[in-house]
Structure 1
Amino acid sequence: MPKISSKGFEMPESPIRKLVPYAEEAHKNGKTVYYLNIGQPDIKTPTIALDAIKASNIEVLAYSRSEGSESYRMKIAEYYDRNGIALSHNDIIVTTGGSEALLFAFGSIMDQDDEIIIPEPFYANYNGFSTASGINVVPVISKIENNFALPPIEEFEKLITPKTKAILICNPGNPTGYLYSKEEIKKLAAIVKKHDLFLIADEVYREFVYDGISHYSILEEAGLEEHAIVVDSVSKRYSMCGARIGYLVSKNKEVISTALKFAQARLSPPTLAQIASEAALDTPQSYFDDVTNEYVKRRNILIEGLENIPGVKVAKPNGAFYCIAELPVKNSDDFARWLLESFDYDNSTVMVAPAAGFYSTPGVGLNQIRIAYVLNEERLKKAIKILDEALKVYKD
């Protein structure tokens, strides 16, 4: 029998999606399932984006340019300019989601067996992207006890080897909601300049920051032009996950010209989705103000609710719409599956994402879960109640 590749065998399952069959079975059995496992906002997509699709008079849905349409890239550059970041549209490559932007970045700057340093826990698919690219993740562990703050810079420097090519952060963070301070970005900038590395920042949640704190992009840091690579996306900003539009941003001309070759190999990003994404850039600030206020209310309900459950420890997020909670269980994989297979409260249950998949260090995060607070207040309160009742009866 033919064998699959070693790469395919090593490709990790998604902790976010692997429990879907259990959730579907629970639904078939008549249970209401509250989905806390995936960052699919229930916020409405801006009408201006949907109207642009309806108004299009396309007769042939043709390829776009490999780097994305010029008009869209120019409007992205204007968006960054409004946020105090001067860019040319030629510094931008439109991709099929932020995922492809990450893959293009990895392919453009790293070779087989090169290393990338990532503070963990991190977005689970970074493990998958690294496996697909044949590179090695070198983790720096941040801890729930100090709210997942950036580990001391000395911890990064200890890990740098001749194989190290980049440091990757998610800011604000998925799965922790941690927001890097300006001072932390400056420390990272100093490291990558000192050791001649790239600094990749996944900034797809940059619009969602709370408590009067401002987001500081690596593109704002002077002197980092040749080192900085930003991954961005419309998925969460405009609640357009299904559009599958993201982009790679860098002032390093060699990075962009190399990434363009990867873009040419896949021909072009989706044409129709670019039309919607270009229109979405005209979304008024009031939309983001309303959405941010909504997420703050949900965050506060979630954190307060979790803190009132005996034995649960939770880190308070300052951005995005996720948090990591530590539960009084030995294995959150088993607990998450049990919730769907064997438990209900008023014929309802919850689906969570076991957090071990958000680490690359074996054995870490086994008793943690990631929660996405993308449900409305009423549903979120019900989900917290279900989780509370479940922990009262669950036996490891």
Structure 2
Amino acid sequence: MSGGDKLDFEIRPNSAPVSAAERAAVLAAPGFGRVMTDHMVTIRYADGKGWYDARVEPYAPIPMDPASAVFHYAQEIFEGLKAFRTADGTITMFRPEANAARFVTSARRMAMPPLPPEVFMDSLHRIIEIDRDWVPEGDEGSLYLRPFMFASEAFLGVRPASEYLYLLIASPAGAYFTGGVKPLSLWVSPDYTRAAPGGTGAAKCGGNYATSLAPQAEAIEHGCDQVIFLDAVERRYIDELGGMNVFFVYDDGTLVTPPLTGTILPGITRESIITLAREAGHPVHERLVSLDEWRSDAASGRLTEAFACGTAAVITPIGTVRSPEGEFATNGGEPGTVTMSLRQTLEDIQRGRIDDRHGWVHRVR
């Protein structure tokens, strides 16, 4: 198919879906990423043929050749977004077009064929429509959507694969925070970095997350919730968490976030926060922030808040920061008013509680 064509999806309904009673039990306390819905989307790609064989089919294991290129050379990318059930029963997604665009960017960085955005969007609609009963009700639940693609060609030569498989699975999710939003404690990794200039830091690929697992375990060993990385060149400047972007709030109302120089994932939540903060009258600057600056400005009171953001957690305050050199806190380790106001505004837009002036909310047909 060409980039502007649409694919016809073959629909194969699950003949043995989860019962309504079992589904209700899951939706009562879904957790995150534990239970999958009844269906998945699969689309194949081959050089010279393009994208083909688009299906909505029962969720099931997929056969894999041991020589599949993804096992050996890690050509793999993914996305993450949510579907919400609003108060009037409408199902919506938040900025899925941005996820489609980032999926293309990630594919190009990993030498993979871009999935046309219109096919990406169609796949989201297809799985939500067939599994719409899995979208939780209420103010905290959502249906987490996980599109991903990997090299499926069986070969052992070092080159881009000629065959790929795109899949889309879905999982009901509950509140990310049980018992309310709690400030994160962060461990500054002294030995590990997340990404280097010229690397894959700006691509949403599994390898970036794999490299964060050892330092994340180190963070837990030091009594912290998450790891935060410094830049790979000077080992001075704040990069991002293992899976979230970072913002700083100053006493004059200014927000600062590290710039997108190729080592940081361009978060869709990050971009949305920049827009909302500026609309609320907060100047926003993208510039380098060193760990020393963070520590000294937190001590002087010039830095009043810090928070992390991403699809799963939306916005969460940062409380304490720990490193081999010691520990310090921002805002006494408590959530800040700017942080929580931005979080509330963003969630209200996502869930249809206030008007969406940006065209971010996408209604599912």
TM-score range with shorter-chain normalisation? under 0.3
Instruction: Flag the structure with more relative contact order, 1 or 2, with Cα contacts below 8 A and sequence separation at least 6.
Output: 1
TM, length-normalised to structure 1: 0.23
| TM-score normalised per structure 2 | 0.25
More strand by percentage: 2
